[in-house]
Amino acid sequence: MNWKNEITNLLDIQYPIVQSPMFGVTTPQMTAATSNLGCLGSLALADLDSDNCVRLINETQKLTDKPFAVNIFVNQIPQIDDTLTQQYYKTKNYIEKLANENGIEVVLPELNTINFTDYHDQIDAIINKKCKILSFIFGCLDDESIALLKRNNVVLIGTCTSIEEAKILSEKGIDIISVQGIEAGGHRGSFEPNNIPEIGGLSLLSQIAENVKNPLIYAGGIYNAKTLLAAKTLGAQGFQVGSLLLGSTESALKPFEKNRLKLVKEDEIMLTKSFSGRYARGIKNKFIETIENSDYVLPYPYQNKLTNELRKIGKKKELADFVGIWLGQSINGFSNKSTSELLKDLIQQTEEFTTKEKQNF
């Protein structure tokens, strides 16, 4: 199979396979392993402050001299008013009570102690560290940031979950568009936090390929040769994998979380706003079942900040019912091989499959 295309040329990589920027899962080791193989590693910076962004970028740059992407959130932050304040403390008290009833002693943060990151500060850090590929979710960068990044020769990858979002990214001059289907794991990259598009990935990909000229990366359910080639057939030039790497050696998931993945059933995977206030696809658990569709879900990022300490304790105590384990709809066995081994297997499997198909044809 000829892997070379517009995306490999733009990103200066050998294979157009992109490691998903899974915040809480991705590590500098995973990012570097992906890039060292000739694929595109992605370092998840999410909404970290600039100092932590620089720390993680430094760690990754020590492990690879190959191109890798950094990924940030560009969402709007709702203003604090009386209504939000009342809802915040109502939710805080309820979740603390729920945790206590389940043997977890936790004090969640006061509203006035929460710090929010301005993504413009992240951009300054990214430029200063000479990162050349930036991907982002939850909307589009503002015009000034796009111009600044382009002046510094940064390739921009935006995420869409609908044709309308894809058109906005294209019109704004974003270089590459990542198309995220509803079956993809983790947070929806949609511009709208509440009434999100729920469009099947391959249907969405096919329609977007007909509506924009940008090279497309497809994200959602890719875990073997057949799923990768299906995306290629429908217009993708890049192929993003996430859930395939959850059990890998370099994954930041704890052993109890990886064990939970191996037991998951398809009807346990769902979209939920319970932990963060934005829809994310992951494994149903007691916390989600209690909070979902209740009056105790704050808008993002307030819910995310509020539940952060609870999730930390859940990880430390190995309580699968009080952590968010994000994954897509394609259950793949969650091998504990290294990232490079898993990606090599995918590449080899794809090459063997295409060779066989040509012979049969």
Residues 6+ apart with CB under 8 A from 205: 179, 181, 216, 218, 231, 234, 235, 236
Lowest mean pLDDT among 66-75, 93-102, 347-356: 347-356
Residue type, 177: I
Q: What are phi and psi for residue 220, nearest 5 degrees?
A: 145, 95
Beta strands 68-73; 280-283: pairing state: unpaired
Mean pLDDT of 110-132: 96
| Chain mean pLDDT for the chain | 96
User: What is the pTM for the complete model shown?
Assistant: 0.96
Q: Find the mean pLDDT for residues 127-146.
A: 98
Report which residue type is found at 168.
Answer: I
Q: Which fold has domain 1-77+116-249+336-356?
A: TIM Barrel (3.20.20)
Helix axes 225-233, 201-209, angle to 10 degrees: 30
Pairing of strands 68-73, 238-241: unpaired
Rounded (10°) CA dihedral 148, 152, 155, 160: -10
Q: Over 90: is that where the pLDDT of 103 sits?
A: yes
Residue type, 102: N
- Give yes or no for residue 48 having a pLDDT over 90: yes
| 358 compared with 69, residue with greater pLDDT | 69
Q: Which amino acid does the sequence have at 317?
A: K
* Residue 356's pLDDT band (cuts 50, 70, 90): confident
What residue ranges do the domains of the chain occupy? Answer: 1-77+116-249+336-356, 79-115+254-324
What is the per-residue pLDDT across 183-207, written as a single tens digit (0 to 9) for each? 999 999 999 998 899 999 999 999 9
User: Sorting pLDDT into bands at 50, 70 and 90, what band is 355?
Assistant: confident
Q: Find the mean pLDDT for residues 237-245.
A: 98
Degrees to nearest 5, angle at CA 208 with 206 and 212: 130
Per-residue pLDDT at 361 exceeds 60: no
Does the pLDDT at position 84 exceed 80?
A: yes
Three-state DSSP at 73 gives strand
